[in-house]
Amino acid sequence: MTMIFGVPLAVFMGQLMLGLINGAFYALLSLGLAVIFGLLKIVNFAHGAMYMLGAFAALLGLQTLGLNYWLALLLVPLLVGGLGMLIERYMLRRIAHLDHLYGLLLTFGLALIAEGTLINFFGVSGSSYPTPTALQGGYNLGFMFLPIYRAWVLLAALVVCLGTWFIIERTRLGAYLRAGTENSALMQAFGVNVPQLVTLTYGFGVALAAFAGVLAAPLYPVSPTMGSSLLIVVFAVVVIGGMGSILGAVLTGLGMGLVEGLTKVYYPEAANTVIFLVMVLVLLVRPAGLFGKEA
Amino acid sequence: MTFNRNTLVSSIALTATLMATGAQAQMSDNAVRIGYLADMSGTYRDLAGPGGLEALQMAVEDFGGEVNGAPIEVSSADDRNSADVGANTVREWFDTQNVDLVAGLVASSVVIAATKVIEDNNGLGIVSGSAASSITNEHCTPNHIHWVYDTYPLANGTAKAVVEQGGDTWFMLTADYAFGHALEADVTRVVEDNGGEIVGTIRHPFPTSDFSSYILQAQGSGAKIIGLANAGADTVNAISTASQFGVVQGGQQLAGLLIFLNDVHAMGLEDTQGLLLTTGWYWDMDDQSREWAERYFERTERMPTMVQAGIYSSTMHYLETVAEEGTDDPETIRAAMAERPVEDFFSRNGRIREDGRMVHDMYLARVKSPEESTGEWDVYEILSTIPAEEAFRPLAESQCELVTN
Amino acid sequence: MSHTTALTPAMKLQRRAKLRRNALYLVLIAIGLVAPFVAYPVFLMKVLCFALFACAFNLLLGYAGLLSFGHAAFLATGGYVTGFLLSSYPGLTPELGILAGTLAAVVLGALFGALAIRRQGIYFAMVTLALAQLVFFLFVQSPFTGGEDGLHGVPRGALFGLISLRSNLAMYYFVFAVFLIGFAIVQRAVHSPYGQVLKAIRENEPRAVSLGYNVDAYKLLAFVLSAGLAGLAGATKTLVFQLASLTDAHWHMSGEVILMTLLGGVGTLFGPVVGAGVVVSLQTQLAQSPLGNWVSVILGTIFVLCVLSFRSGIVGEIQKVVKKNFK
């Protein structure tokens, strides 16, 4: 058997695959953060809560309305995105003229409220969301058993990430968005409705988080605390990537998934720590992050 | 040294109680006060939490709300799984409210901190939630009792049964902190004593949300059994991931060492069927248990966990002892509680040992398949009983000062 | 007489303000001295420890404009190091234990600071958060912290080997003294020329650079000072409760100290003290009430309200009113 650093090749390949799948979640979440940050300059601390709300909305939709997985994948991001737009319109806009740190604090408060409220109604043990029938079972790849659902997650996340990148880099809407990031006063002067653009952007970023939440529902127990621990890791991913670039967020997300996956084989004790270590190293060499512009 | 100080403090307390109450009923300030301390909003909420408080109040109501004419007053607090909040609350209860019994007590860090305060104030505590066997071992005090279960019978019950059924090669997934290490050590000992072998171990960070990598490594090990030396969300995550990766279909079995009713209920039978586990009590195990559990269900719309049932059982035992002795003096009550056998819907062949451990029969259970189950809460089949005297750590191995001195 | 007439009205006003402030300090110290006879001393000690923690945090946010989301790491480091040393070396006196804990936090603060001050604003917040998370994982796994169980039974010992701190009253006065020292350090730092430069950097960093100030050195010093004081608060807290646990290292704690400062008033000297008092009382009261399960929701709501419409905090709003009516 071929061995790579004392690990059979088959196992090694399997671990890379799993790392990539985890990385897809990091990519989706850090992409949403990057989009929001680009235009609003706010670190959305409620991003984990929105991810969690996405998973919960899918679960409740299934339990009370019989909403199936595919519809949930479509509707839940719209629903949570709508909630996000309300938050932007009635809260974040009121403090937009202030130091951006206030945005971080406000969304932190919102995250506490969302998490605490759901804990009171649903407890913390979480519930399981059934894997949709079309995606049950798995492929035998020869080197590993790959559940179909995980393959789907990777595919769906990559498609959404690329789609987002396309919208932002190649469409008129995206051009407005990028221009708004650079100079919103000038955009306003050109007749672009910047406040509306901001509301849409926040809604879209939050919808990405909710989409990731629905994707995660069949994988992990749906519980009110599922978002907050993940969020901190995603923050580190964002710092490593630098906040300037959309593609940077996606690539760093996938890359960090791989790094974490390999750590789980060679030194599992450090699996939760390794991303933070990478972050420290990157900060020492490139303070603006791998893809970031010098601030 | 400690012994002298304690006796001095307690005799002062006793004299004070006697002087204060005089010829009346010997209840300190004419009331029996119970403080319920538990995690009401965090990780361990569903295990004890508000449901445990409900069980406690049920016991008080069933008892009639008073002991020999003295009213029973219940206060409760959320420790938020924080040792300093827990210790501080208990200290305040003693200093300002004269609490007679501290009940609940879940997370091990909170329990160890709280029992130290209870000892300092010569009070009485009954620990129902915590898993750590150290609570009646190196952290034992003369002022607390550990009621429901601990890691020793969990490893002893589950691991022994699994090895006897032919599961003699194990791969351990251990949470990388003190609790996980202790559980792993207990399991290793039991497996090896019974002729089995540990073929591999992974220590995963605590907490971990994605177990796929570790499950894949466990699959690659070829061990017959994957032992989960972790708890709560980690165990739940590991089990549902194992189900996604077809571990059971691949011929391997999972052995969960610390699993509660609420965990199984949350995961659903599809993912958990066939899992072997050890429990201190199950609501559907006989008529007596069913009768109580159904009354509880009417109040909360959830079936009780073994911890919630244990809270009722221990509170009842305490109140009965107080009524019989006619005093709520902690030292007298602690001694009298140990003299009375614990025999109720919860506990069979129960007695309180000198280290504070309440030993009682434990049960080996198997999680039913969805086809076998007849209802939402019909999840366990009880396979066998582990007799009280075999289940828990023998006193001969104890490091508790109350035993070794 | 002739001396006073030489003063301009502005100087008079300043002098009156200073007199008023000194009088206020004296009154507050007097209140602090009699407080344990009125309120529960352990509760007061908790408030004082968190007040010191919040003051340390405010030094950074309020006067240097740096939002650290990782201050829990310093609180916990101070606590663990002090707790570990005092439990392992029975001969060690409490003040030395606290000193060691504080120094450990200073060292950690220098490490954090060197990395974090390379970035500003939001980045700074996220870098400190991520670094604190790294420290949290180390604490979970290091044997000396007791992991999930925490450190227990830390002896209070005798101050300088002479005065026993076993009684809550003796302990209270010690904590009060520690708090006053910490507060005085913050007060001195803020009102010194150093504090003025910090404020200048906060208002306009490029300008401060062009004036020739070594901005990074100023920021680093503020960070290290803040970390050290946070460590001092953690070390003292460990001695009071005789335990150290992971709660102090969790990122929720970093959020709580922000809330205390924000609620009391960012950039005011007394704001963090008032904020800490309110938050700690709220937590204590709520935890034992029927609303106990809703603590985090209520804290979150306060956060949102503070940010939306109450940004000057309690002390800040009072100052506004005072300025408007008594000028």
Mean pLDDT per segment of 10 residues, for chain B of length 405 residues? 44 45 60 92 84 96 92 90 86 90 90 92 93 89 94 89 90 86 89 93 86 90 91 86 86 89 88 89 95 96 95 96 92 94 95 95 93 94 91 91 85
In this predicted model, what pLDDT tens digit does every residue of A235-253 receive, in sequence order? 889 889 887 678 889 999 9
CA distance B200 to chain A (A): 13
Instruction: Verify whether the Cβ–Cβ distance A239 to C127 is below 8 Å.
Output: yes
In this predicted model, what pLDDT tens digit does every residue of C12-24 receive, in sequence order? 777 887 888 888 8
Q: How far is CA C140 from CA A269, B178, C230, C242, in A?
A: 11, 9, 20, 19
Q: Which residues pair with B351 in a beta bridge?
A: B359
pLDDT of residue B194: 92
Kindly list the residues from chain C whose CB atom is less than 8 angstroms away from the CB atom of residue B75.
288
Backbone torsions φ then ψ of C181, nearest 5 degrees: -60, -50
Residue type, B143: N
Gap between the Cα atoms of B152 and B400, Å rounded: 15
Say yes or no: A184 contacts chain B, CB-CB below 8 A.
no
Residue type, C272: P
Residue with token string 């498609």 = A159
Instruction: Verify whether the Cβ–Cβ distance A91 to C115 is below 8 Å.
Output: no
Q: Return the top range by mean pLDDT from A45-54, C10-19, C36-45.
A: A45-54
Instruction: Verify whether the Cβ–Cβ distance B109 to C295 is below 8 Å.
Output: no
Say yes or no: A285 contacts chain C, CB-CB below 8 A.
no
Say yes or no: B329 contacts chain A, CB-CB below 8 A.
no
Instruction: Verify whether the Cβ–Cβ distance C133 to A101 is below 8 Å.
Output: no
**Of the candidates B180, B89, B83, the residue with the CA atom closest to the CA atom of residue B132:** B180
Kindly list the residues from chain A whose CB atom is less than 8 angstroms away from the CB atom of residue C295.
116
CA distance A71 to chain C (A): 31
Kindly list the residues from chain B whose CB atom is less than 8 angstroms away from the CB atom of residue C141.
176-177, 205
pLDDT of residue B307: 96
* Chain-centroid distance, C-alpha C113: 17
- Find, in chain B, the residue whose alpha carbon is nearest to that of C46: B88
Backbone torsions φ then ψ of A146, nearest 5 degrees: -105, 115
Q: Is residue A158 part of a domain?
A: yes
**Nearest residue, CB atoms, C42 vs list B50, B92, B113:** B92
Instruction: Verify whether the Cβ–Cβ distance B220 to A229 is below 8 Å.
Output: no
User: Residue A220 pLDDT > 80, yes or no?
Assistant: yes
Residue type, B11: S
> In the structure encoding, which two tokens stand for residue B227, read together?
């032992």
**Nearest residue, CB atoms, B178 vs list C147, C153, C296:** C147
pLDDT of residue A109: 94
Gap between the Cα atoms of C188 and B15, Å rounded: 53
Please name the helix (run of DSSP H) or strand (run of DSSP E) that holds residue C94, with its range, or none. helix C94-116
Q: Is residue A232 part of a domain?
A: no
Total tally of structural domains belonging to chain A: 1
Gap between the Cα atoms of B92 and A286, Å rounded: 51
Determine whether B166 is exposed, middle or buried from the number of CB atoms within 10 Å of its CB (0-12, 13-18, 19+). Answer: exposed
Residue type, C292: G
Instruction: Verify whether the Cβ–Cβ distance A123 to B262 is below 8 Å.
Output: yes
Instruction: Verify whether the Cβ–Cβ distance C148 to B76 is below 8 Å.
Output: no
Residue with token string 């730092």 = C189
- Find, in chain C, the residue whose alpha carbon is nearest to that of B81: C247
Instruction: Verify whether the Cβ–Cβ distance B89 to C287 is below 8 Å.
Output: yes
* Chain-centroid distance, C-alpha A240: 15
**Of the candidates B219, B257, B213, the residue with the CA atom closest to the CA atom of residue B235:** B257
User: Residue C75 pLDDT > 90, yes or no?
Assistant: yes
pLDDT of residue A43: 87
Across the range C298-314, mean pLDDT stands at 90
> In the structure encoding, which two tokens stand for residue A133, read together?
């029938």
Instruction: Verify whether the Cβ–Cβ distance A287 to C119 is below 8 Å.
Output: yes
Kindly list the residues from chain C whose CB atom is less than 8 angstroms away from the CB atom of residue B112.
149-150, 152
Q: How many interface pairs between A and C have CB atoms less than 8 angstroms apart?
A: 116
pLDDT of residue C6: 63
Instruction: Verify whether the Cβ–Cβ distance A123 to B46 is below 8 Å.
Output: yes
Say yes or no: B265 contacts chain A, CB-CB below 8 A.
yes
- Beta strands (DSSP E) in B214-337 are 225-229, 253-256, 276-279
* Chain-centroid distance, C-alpha B176: 21
Determine whether B111 is exposed, middle or buried from the number of CB atoms within 10 Å of its CB (0-12, 13-18, 19+). Answer: buried
pLDDT of residue A19: 93
Say yes or no: A281 contacts chain C, CB-CB below 8 A.
no
Kindly list the residues from chain A whose CB atom is less than 8 angstroms away from the CB atom of residue B41.
116, 119-120
DSSP state of B201: E
**Nearest residue, CB atoms, A273 vs list C121, C134, C303:** C134
Backbone torsions φ then ψ of A76, nearest 5 degrees: -60, -45
CA distance B266 to chain A (A): 5
Instruction: Verify whether the Cβ–Cβ distance A109 to C303 is below 8 Å.
Output: yes
Q: Return the top range by mean pLDDT from B22-31, C27-36, C179-188.
A: C179-188
Kindly list the residues from chain C whose CB atom is less than 8 angstroms away from the CB atom of residue A101.
67, 121-122, 125
Kindly list the residues from chain A whose CB atom is less than 8 angstroms away from the CB atom of residue C303.
105-106, 108-109, 112
Instruction: Verify whether the Cβ–Cβ distance A268 to B205 is below 8 Å.
Output: yes
**Of the candidates B242, B234, B304, the residue with the CA atom closest to the CA atom of residue B274:** B242
User: Residue A143 pLDDT > 60, yes or no?
Assistant: yes
- Find, in chain C, the residue whose alpha carbon is nearest to that of A45: C126
Gap between the Cα atoms of A176 and A184, Å rounded: 9
SS3 content of chain B, % helix, strand, coil (to 5): 45, 20, 35
Residue with token string 């991931």 = B241
Indicate which of A154, A264, A265 best probes the interface with B, i.e. most B CBs within 10 Å of its own CB.
A264
Instruction: Verify whether the Cβ–Cβ distance A131 to B244 is below 8 Å.
Output: yes
CA distance C28 to chain B (A): 25
ipTM above 0.90, yes or no: no
Kindly list the residues from chain A whose CB atom is less than 8 angstroms away from the CB atom of residue C308.
91, 94-95, 106
Kindly list the residues from chain C whose CB atom is less than 8 angstroms away from the CB atom of residue B205.
137, 140-141
Residue C68: Cβ within 10 Å count: 31
pLDDT of residue B52: 95
Say yes or no: C300 contacts chain B, CB-CB below 8 A.
no
- Find, in chain B, the residue whose alpha carbon is nearest to that of C45: B88
Determine whether C82 is exposed, middle or buried from the number of CB atoms within 10 Å of its CB (0-12, 13-18, 19+). Answer: buried
B188 close to B159: Cβ distance less than 8 angstroms: no
Q: How far is CA C72 from CA C69, C76, C118, C198, C230, in A?
A: 8, 6, 21, 23, 8
Which sign does the torsion angle of CA B329, B332, B338, B339 carry?
Answer: negative
* B119 φψ region: left (φ > 0), alpha (ψ -120 to 50), beta (else): alpha
Say yes or no: B174 contacts chain A, CB-CB below 8 A.
no
pLDDT of residue B15: 45
Across the range A105-133, mean pLDDT stands at 88
pLDDT of residue C73: 96
Give percent of chain C with pLDDT exceeding 70: 97
Instruction: Verify whether the Cβ–Cβ distance A221 to B208 is below 8 Å.
Output: no
Q: How many interface pairs between A and B have CB atoms less than 8 angstroms apart?
A: 108
pLDDT of residue A124: 75
Backbone torsions φ then ψ of A66, nearest 5 degrees: 70, 20
Residue B29: Cβ within 10 Å count: 14
Q: By mean pLDDT, which of A3-7, A193-197, B375-379 is the weakest?
A: A3-7
Q: Is residue A59 part of a domain?
A: yes
pLDDT of residue B395: 92
**Nearest residue, CB atoms, A106 vs list C118, C137, C304:** C304
* Chain-centroid distance, C-alpha C261: 9
Instruction: Verify whether the Cβ–Cβ distance B217 to A150 is below 8 Å.
Output: no
pLDDT of residue C7: 65
Q: Is residue A1 part of a domain?
A: no
Gap between the Cα atoms of A235 and C190, Å rounded: 32
Considering only residues 224 to 253 of chain C, which have any Cβ-Cβ distance to chain B shorter than 8 Å?
A: 237, 241-243, 245-248
Q: Is residue A287 part of a domain?
A: no
**Nearest residue, CB atoms, A125 vs list B219, B246, B262:** B262
A23 close to A256: Cβ distance less than 8 angstroms: yes
CA distance B238 to chain A (A): 10
- Find, in chain C, the residue whose alpha carbon is nearest to that of B78: C287
Residue B366: Cβ within 10 Å count: 17
* Chain-centroid distance, C-alpha A201: 15
List all chains that touch chain B, counting a touch as 3 or more CB pairs closer than 8 Å: A, C
Across the range A153-165, mean pLDDT stands at 94
pLDDT of residue B111: 92
pLDDT of residue C291: 76
**Antiparallel, parallel or unpaired: β C158-159 and C163-164:** antiparallel
Residue A45's domain comprises 19-223
Which position has the higher pLDDT, B207 or A59? A59
> In the structure encoding, which two tokens stand for residue C256, read together?
């709580």
Say yes or no: B214 contacts chain A, CB-CB below 8 A.
yes
What does the radius of gyration of chain B's CA atoms come to, in whole angstroms? 21
Query: Quick check: helix, strand or coil at residue C91?
Result: coil
Q: Is residue A74 part of a domain?
A: yes
Domains and CATH numbers, chain B: 2-149+286-360 (3.40.50.2300), 152-279+362-391 (3.40.50.2300)
C280 close to B84: Cβ distance less than 8 angstroms: no
**Nearest residue, CB atoms, A149 vs list B202, B237, B244:** B244
A111 close to A229: Cβ distance less than 8 angstroms: no
CA distance C219 to chain B (A): 33
A45 close to A113: Cβ distance less than 8 angstroms: no
Q: Which residues pair with B169 in a beta bridge?
A: B197
B184 close to B170: Cβ distance less than 8 angstroms: no
Q: Is residue A250 part of a domain?
A: no
